[in-house]
């Protein structure tokens, strides 16, 4: 126990250990989120029904899961904002990760589409609950210097998602599914065995994460029980409630825009590649895998840049600039496959750090609590869900819509970011104008100082006369003469100067 406690205390008071555990847990969340989506066709075949028959009901079941995401973000934000002690949050992580492990292990044994929808809803609820807590924990652990940690945990999350997609593709490539044919018993048995292996490995990995959180909870320093020994670097310059609301409201469309890259961009890129190349599906998949691979590499590059060189502000500038260049290159490729590969790789590198940098940028302006974080995540998820309807309409009616969306998305982010900076500057100017005293304040302050000097001189004369009278009367004089004089001086010294204002600090930008 002593060794474990020293291990937690060492390494910047255990921050490195906790950061690695946060990242590995978030990586597990990425795998848990991707595996049911990647094996959705196999799950339908396992139910013994044709894909065409179950396609609509399966999409409804996964819609329940997305609804669980929204509920989990809100509930997680409230819960992790209420339980602020590290050991309380570690206990919540331990319980929730164990619960998620049981749910992941139960998915292969579901033989009813309705029950599958319920299980997926619970899975989405718990995963988003944990995700909100992980990000809130990282923000509390590092304060305004949380940019590197956020990039690190999001990098491992992306790695888990991409690795899961690639593993599923390699493992299930020999199974051919027909949309109108119910599979034979032998094929269903083979699919069931593969599903069992996949979800069993995920369950074991999730249990390992739960054990790690239990150990951290068990062997944490005693100070974690009664105090919040997180980073002391939480001191931001005070900001008004209006500025805090402005920062959150203006960051929401930026977060939605950044979430658009990770949620919809692969679909748009697939449509654009199909239109440009008119090649076989395997070539399209290879180019998309290049995009995802470069996205993972870009996130790890962003970790190093955030640690040594770039603040969230400059990370956003660099990311959006590269996105614009890559999207314009993609629009000019035509049927040139080589240039398309280069632009796809550059686009993957540029879009990687934007989501984490947007959250870190907001955290440098205002103090983000769990409720704000949960509401931001929930609102961005709801917007992405509703965007699927008008996006399908646009793509159906306009064949060039995918490339337009690819080009306009970073441009829209740049415009929104410029508007946010302008509003922040306007708010800062108003704060400075409020804090700077006027000429009347200076004149009132000078007159008040003159009054204090005059009264002090009168008081000195009164004290001199009292001392003289004391010398004349000898020891028969009491202390009442000095008492009145001392009380008067005390009132003068404690008198508040008219025109003076209490100062407030102006937020930095």
> Rounded to whole angstroms, how far apart are CA atoms 471 and 463?
12
Residue 484: what pLDDT?
38
Q: How far apart are CA 378 and CA 71, in angstroms?
A: 8
Q: What angle do CA 55, 126, 99 make, to 5 degrees?
A: 105
Q: Which pLDDT score is estimated for 220?
A: 75
Task: Write out the two tokens for 45.
Answer: 């075949």
pLDDT at 433: 72
pLDDT of residue 455: 43
Q: What is the pLDDT of residue 321?
A: 93
The overall pTM is greater than 0.85: no
Q: From the CB of residue 38, how many other CB atoms can be counted at a distance below 10 Å?
A: 20
Q: Give the Cβ contact number of residue 383 at 10 Å.
A: 17
Residues 6+ apart with CB under 8 A from 85: 224, 225, 226, 227, 228
Distance CA 314, CA 299 (A): 15
From residue 193, alpha-carbon distances to 117, 257, 352, 383, 421 in Å are 21, 40, 35, 37, 55
Which of 77, 37, 30 has the alpha carbon at shortest distance from 61?
37
Q: List Cβ neighbours of 294 (8 Å cut-off, separation of 6 or more).
A: 344, 345, 346, 347, 348, 349, 352
pLDDT along the chain (509 residues), means of 10: 44 76 94 88 70 59 82 92 87 95 91 84 94 92 90 93 88 64 70 88 95 89 59 51 83 86 76 68 71 89 90 93 90 76 87 91 86 90 77 76 85 92 82 63 53 46 45 42 41 40 34
Q: What is the pLDDT of residue 221?
A: 72
Shortest CA distance to 326 belongs to which of 398, 269, 258, 286?
269
Backbone φ and ψ of 45, nearest 5°: -65, -35
pLDDT score recorded for residue 272? 75
């Amino acid at each position: 126990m002593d060794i474990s406690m020293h291990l937690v205390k060492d390494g910047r008071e255990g921050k490195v250990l906790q950061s690695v555990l946060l990242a590995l847990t978030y990586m597990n969340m990425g795998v848990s989120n991707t595996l049911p989506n990647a094996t959705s066709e196999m799950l339908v075949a396992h139910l013994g029904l044709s894909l065409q028959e179950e396609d609509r009901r399966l999409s409804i079941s996964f819609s329940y899961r997305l609804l669980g995401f929204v509920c989990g973000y809100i509930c997680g934000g409230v819960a992790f904002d209420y339980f602020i002690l590290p050991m309380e949050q570690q206990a919540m992580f331990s319980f929730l990760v164990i619960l998620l492990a049981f749910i992941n292990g139960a998915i292969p044994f579901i033989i009813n589409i309705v029950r599958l929808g319920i299980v997926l809803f619970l899975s989405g609820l718990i995963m988003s609950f944990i995700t909100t807590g992980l990000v809130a924990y990282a923000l509390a652990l590092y304060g305004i210097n949380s940019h590197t940690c956020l990039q690190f945990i999001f990098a491992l999350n992306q790695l888990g998602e991409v690795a899961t997609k690639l593993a599923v593709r390699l493992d299930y490539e020999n199974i051919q599914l027909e949309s109108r044919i119910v599979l034979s018993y032998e094929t269903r048995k083979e699919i069931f065995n593969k599903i069992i292996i996949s979800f069993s490995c995920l369950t074991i990995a999730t249990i390992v994460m739960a054990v790690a959180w239990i150990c951290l909870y068990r062997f944490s320093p005693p100070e974690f029980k009664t105090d919040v020994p997180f980073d002391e670097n939480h001191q931001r310059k005070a900001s008004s409630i209006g500025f805090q609301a402005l920062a959150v409201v203006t960051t929401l469309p930026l977060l939605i825009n950044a979430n658009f890259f990770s949620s919809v961009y692969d679909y748009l890129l697939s449509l654009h590649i199909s239109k440009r190349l008119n090649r076989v599906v395997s070539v399209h998949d290879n180019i998309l895998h290049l995009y995802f691979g470069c996205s993972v590499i870009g996130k790890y590059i962003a970790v190093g840049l955030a640690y040594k060189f770039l603040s969230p502000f400059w990370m956003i500038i660099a990311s959006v600039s590269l996105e614009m260049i890559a999207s314009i290159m993609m629009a000019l490729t035509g049927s040139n496959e080589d240039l398309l590969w280069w632009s796809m790789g550059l686009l993957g590198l540029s879009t990687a750090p934007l989501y984490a940098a947007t959250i870190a940028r907001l955290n440098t302006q205002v103090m983000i609590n769990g409720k704000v974080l949960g509401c931001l995540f929930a609102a961005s998820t709801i917007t992405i869900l509703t965007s699927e309807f008008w996006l399908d309409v646009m793509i159906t009616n306009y064949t060039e819509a995918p490339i337009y969306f690819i080009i306009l998305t970073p441009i829209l982010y740049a415009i929104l970011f410029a508007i946010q900076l302008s509003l922040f500057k306007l708010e800062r100017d108003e704060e400075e104008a409020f804090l700077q005293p006027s000429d009347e304040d200076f004149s009132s302050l000078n007159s008040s100082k003159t009054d204090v000097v005059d009264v002090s001189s009168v008081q000195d004369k009164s004290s001199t006369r009292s001392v003289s009278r004391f010398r004349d009367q000898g020891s028969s004089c009491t202390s009442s003469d000095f008492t009145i004089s001392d009380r008067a001086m005390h009132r003068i010294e404690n008198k508040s100067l008219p025109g003076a204002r209490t100062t407030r600090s102006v937020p930095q930008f």
